């Protein structure tokens, strides 16, 4: 599986010295990895309540991960 290039996801940031440089939701100290870990055993609503991130933020990260995992589009062929 290809690794995600989080620097291309506008909703997250990594700043040296902030949460040890982990990818966090922009403007927060909430690591993206914590959301994925907690979604294994918690509902989205529980994650939102426990981590104080918005549904839109979580959805943006999930959408980014899903798009990154999708197979590359085949080039179109001109007739």
What domains lie within the chain, and their CATH numbers? 6-69 (1.10.10)
28-72 residue pLDDT tens: 999 999 999 999 999 999 999 999 899 999 999 999 999 887 777
Beta strand segments in 1-79, E: 12-13, 24-25
18 vs 1 pLDDT, higher one: 18
Where on the phi/psi map is residue 59: left (φ > 0), alpha (ψ -120 to 50), or beta? alpha
Q: What is the pTM assigned to this prediction?
A: 0.81
3-state secondary structure of 53: coil
68 vs 2 pLDDT, higher one: 68
Instruction: Please report the pLDDT score of residue 2 as a whole number.
Output: 59
What is the arithmetic mean of pLDDT over 14-19? 95
Q: What is d(CA 51, CA 53) in angstroms, rounded to the nearest whole number?
A: 6
Q: What is d(CA 7, CA 13) in angstroms, rounded to the nearest whole number?
A: 7
Q: Is the pLDDT of residue 1 over 80?
A: no
């Amino acid at each position: 599986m290809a690794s995600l290039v989080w620097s291309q996801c506008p909703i997250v940031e990594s700043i040296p010295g902030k949460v040890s440089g982990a990818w966090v939701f922009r403007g927060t100290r909430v690591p993206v990895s914590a959301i994925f870990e907690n979604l294994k055993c918690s509902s989205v609503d529980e994650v939102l309540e426990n981590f104080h991130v918005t549904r839109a933020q979580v959805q943006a990260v999930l959408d980014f991960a899903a798009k990154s995992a999708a197979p590359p589009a085949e080039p179109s062929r001109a007739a």
